[in-house]
Amino acid sequence: MIRTLTLALGLLWAQGADLVKVLDKADALLEEAKAGYEKARSEGSTPGFVDAGFRLEEARIKYLAILEVGAPEQQKTAADRMRSVNQLSKLIHDGKVAISGAAVDSKSPLPEKAPDAPATPPQADKPELPEVKVPVVDVSRRAPVPDAAKQKDVEKTIRDLFKEQYAKRAPSDRRALARTLLDQALKSSDDPVAAWVLHREAQDAAIQGFDPRLAMQSIDASAKQFDIDPLPIKATALTAMAKSSRTAEESGVLTEVWLKLIDEQVATDQYDAADKAAAAAIKAARGSNDAAILAVATTRSKEVTEAKTRFSALKNVLQTLATKPDDPAANLEMGQYLCYVKGSWDLGPRFLIKGSDPVLRALAEKEAANLVTAVDKAALADGWWDLAQKETNPLRKGQMLAHAGAIYESALPDATGLLRIRIEKRRETSKSPAAPPGPSVDLLKLIDPKLDGVLGDWTLERGVLVFPAGRSAAWLQIPYSPPEEYDLKIVATRKGGGGFDFYVGVIVPGGKPLLLHIDGGFQGKSGGFQSIDGKDWGSNETSWNDIRVFDADKRHTLLISVRRNQLAVTADGKSLSKWTADYTRASPVSSVPNPSALWVGDWEAVFEVSQMQLIPVSGGNGKSLPHVR
């Protein structure tokens, strides 16, 4: 009955609309999105990426409408275009992440507005520069999958070249082979046949050696070069690995990767596939013997079911927006769907601004205003927080609370007094119930400065760790050994002293200690990890220059993300360093007695650390260690 009604409504709509014009407009929007992406990439502009994403979403709406009611040939064209839309959507997402260090979504703070430049008097005699037009480039065009006969010849060559590694069948050997083949594939982009076969073989080896993350990495890399839909390939690979999962830890890793795939499927409105992935995630979570992981997978499954239902109900809205892009009621529905179902808080408010709800329109206008002060940001967060308190639907309520929490987080560094206290309380309450598994660890509560200080007189005053002053270097061992993958969040303030350096000792996969320098060098504007390929912290692939992180007497938030294949550092949401990690190239450095422990330090500077939180990602939850003394 519902299907018949939908088709009947679609037929009426098609009779009154010129689908050719709708398709032409969608194509034009897609080209605008491509040009916007190229311009944003060349300028390093987060707002530019958001604008390109909005144009792309408008194009997506029109293509989806044509897929529902268009003629067969039009539907085929729209389906082909949707592959380009999904590819460009990922490129835009990756572009935003490369700039900000995190995706601009419900879990990310608002982008910081650059300080106002000094006023410059008008120059009447200066000629007006011509507008620079960015050429439209088909950034979504990718190479076709190579001919099967050519693949066969190249596969034979590859297996001959790596004959010894192919002969080893142990899971660890297959994982090593997968990494080798992936490295070679990434170096072979100028030879499409070799690149395709190397990626394919890397994926097979990763499946045989049970390395879900590496398999996904290879599939993503091949999808950037070749005209494939990576999501069904990922699902097939994970399904194969599910058959060979033997331990609780492997099941936990598999659950984690299934959940990430579900996010990608929901982002591209592939809800039937997301439904199947959610069922597989629950099955894997049961094998992990971890109640927290199972709760996350179960919650996500319920969210997918609801999202699928809401998307089905959105078809009439899509048809309206395809021909009437300014319709207030349709814009309201689309904005709510993007914000509350997909968590797309950079795109959803663009539709809410044109929507029929005055409360949501006012909040969306504030979202677009690029707020700067802590008071203004907190007021915006309060608006979403207040709406969430009235919401009974768990998915909508969770999305609003998560978004409010992200805005509160961005306001926290500049907040003072009672405002800061209120923000901290609400930020904790706003955490999404579907957060990654594993409890966070408050490292400050583990520290006894008299027992853990290695050099210098460290103190802990009212929950704030105070670094020593008046000596060349000071070190404190944190009595905690982290899991394999984790995020380390530190909120710190520079209070003075003769130097600038802030040090953080981390443990990377394989148990190797590395030292992060922040605000080092003669002027205190450099940083990086020591050392990579024998190169010091200021001159290797992890280094940055001409950036001062710690302004005096101002709170700053550091986030150090340690992953098997990546090591990244952000400060106040802005990326400082992102290294595609090969930890065999790193030399171990530890300044404390226990080389398995995290540590912090400084050089002739005084810092106060008010928060030091570790969020486990994979490999367990870490473990506490004995004090130094």
The CA distance from 198 to 221, in Å, is 11
Q: How far apart are CA 35 and CA 23, in angstroms?
A: 19
Q: Is the pLDDT of residue 158 over 90?
A: yes
Q: Do residue 167 and residue 51 come from a single domain? A: no
- Together in a domain, 601 and 452: yes
Quick one: pLDDT band at residue 496, thresholds 50, 70, 90? confident
Q: Compute the distance between CA of residue 212 and CA of residue 178 in angstroms, rounded to an integer.
A: 11
Give the three-state DSSP class for 22: helix
Output the domain CATH number for residue 556: 2.60.120.560
Q: What angle do CA 55, 59, 65 make, to 5 degrees?
A: 150
Tokens of residue 307, six digits: 């999202």
Instruction: Check residues 163 and 26 and name the one with the higher pLDDT.
Output: 163
Same domain flag for 451 and 408: no
What is the Cα–Cα distance from 100 to 262, expressed in whole angstroms? 23
Of all helices (H) and strands (E), which one includes residue 401? helix 394-411
Chain-centre distance for alpha carbon 513: 25
Model confidence pLDDT, tens digit, residues 273-293 = 999 999 999 999 999 888 878
Q: What is the DSSP letter of 143?
A: B
Question: Are 516 and 469 contained in the same domain?
Answer: yes
Identify whether residues 453 and 480 lie together within a single domain.
yes
Better-predicted residue by pLDDT, 591 or 83? 591
pLDDT of residue 503: 96
| Domain match, 477 and 525 both | yes
Range of the domain at 10: 2-100
Cα separation, 76 vs 492, in Å, equals 55
Handedness of CA 456, 460, 461, 466 (dihedral sign): positive
pTM across the whole model: 0.60
> Rounded to an integer, what distance in angstroms lies between the CA atom of residue 210 and that of residue 112?
41
Q: Is residue 57 part of a domain?
A: yes
Q: Do residues 611 and 543 both lie within one domain?
A: yes
- Residue 24: the pLDDT is 86
430 & 486 share domain: no
Which residues does 180 contact at the CB level (< 8 Å), separation at least 6? 162, 165
Q: Taking a C-beta distance cutoff of 8 angstroms, is the pair 41, 95 a contact?
A: yes
pLDDT at residue 116 tops 60: no
* Residue 139 contacts residue 34 (beta carbons within 8 Å): yes
pLDDT reported for residue 15: 41
Q: Give residue-wise pLDDT tens across range 423-465.
A: 888 876 665 444 444 467 889 999 999 999 999 999 998 889 9
Mean pLDDT value across residues 294-298: 89
> What's the rounded Cα separation, in Å, for the pair 351 and 321?
10
Is it the case that residue 119 has pLDDT exceeding 80? no
Helix, strand, or coil (residue 626): coil
Distances (CA, A) of 50 to 41, 53, 91, 371, 381: 11, 5, 12, 16, 20
Burial of 275 from C-beta contacts in 10 A (0-12 / 13-18 / 19+): middle
Answer yes or no: is pLDDT of 209 > 60.
yes
Please report the sign of the dihedral spanned by the C-alpha atoms of residue 349, residue 355, residue 358, residue 359. negative
Lowest model confidence (mean pLDDT) among 48-57, 373-382, 585-594: 48-57
- Domain count of the chain? 4
Is the bond preceding residue 531 a cis peptide, omega within 30 degrees? yes
Residues 25, 62 contacting (CB under 8 angstroms): yes
Closest alpha carbon to 370 in 115, 54, 575: 115
Distances (CA, A) of 213 to 138, 237, 438, 565, 618: 29, 11, 18, 9, 11
Domain-located, residue 574: yes
The last residue of a domain, from among 418, 437, 456: 437
Of 43, 69, 100, the residue at which a domain comes to its end is 100
Residue 174 has pLDDT above 80, yes or no: yes
pLDDT value of residue 122: 36
Last residue of a domain, one of 437, 459, 490: 437
pLDDT band at 130 (very low <50, low <70, confident <90, very high): very low
Report how far apart, in Å, the C-alpha atoms of 237 and of each of 165, 186, 452, 565 are: 22, 20, 46, 19
Q: What is the DSSP string of 417-483?
A: HHHHHHHHHHHHHT--TTPPSS--EEGGGG--HHHHEEES--EEETTEEE---SSS-EEEEESEE--
**Bridge partner residues of 490 (DSSP):** 558, 612
- Two tokens, residue 237: 């690979």
Identify the CA nearest to 359 among candidates 382, 387, 385.
387
The answer to whether residues 614 and 482 touch, using CB atoms and an 8 Å cutoff, is yes
Which tokens hold the place of 423?
A: 């923000």
On whether residue 409 sits in a domain, the answer given is yes
- Domain assignment present for residue 349? The answer is no
Predicted local distance difference test score (pLDDT) of residue 617: 81
- Note whether 195 and 189 are within 8 A (CB): yes
Do 420 and 455 fall into the same domain?
no
Q: 490: pLDDT confidence band, cut at 50, 70 and 90? A: very high
Query: In this structure, are residues 465 and 449 in contact, taking their beta carbons and an 8 Å threshold?
Result: yes
What is the length of the chain?
629
Amino acid at 301: S
In a domain, 336, yes or no: no
Please indicate, yes or no, if residue 364 is contained in any of the structural domains: no
Closest CA to 238 of 257, 260, 263: 257
450 and 397 in a common domain: no
* 345 part of a folded domain: no
Best CA proximity match to 439, nearest among 569, 622, 612, 258: 622
Tokens read off for 240: 């194969």
Q: What is the pLDDT of residues 226-244, one digit of tens each?
A: 988 899 999 999 999 999 8
21: pLDDT strictly greater than 70: yes
Output the CA–CA distances (angstroms, integers) from residue 30 to 40, 314, 326, 331, in the order listed.
15, 21, 18, 19
The verdict on 468 and 503 lying in the same domain is: yes
Flag whether 136 is in a domain: no
Q: Which of residues 66 and 182 earns the better pLDDT score?
A: 182
Task: Say if residue 502's pLDDT is above 80.
Answer: yes
Q: Which has more pLDDT, 266 or 101?
A: 266
Q: Are residues 413 and 471 in the same domain?
A: no
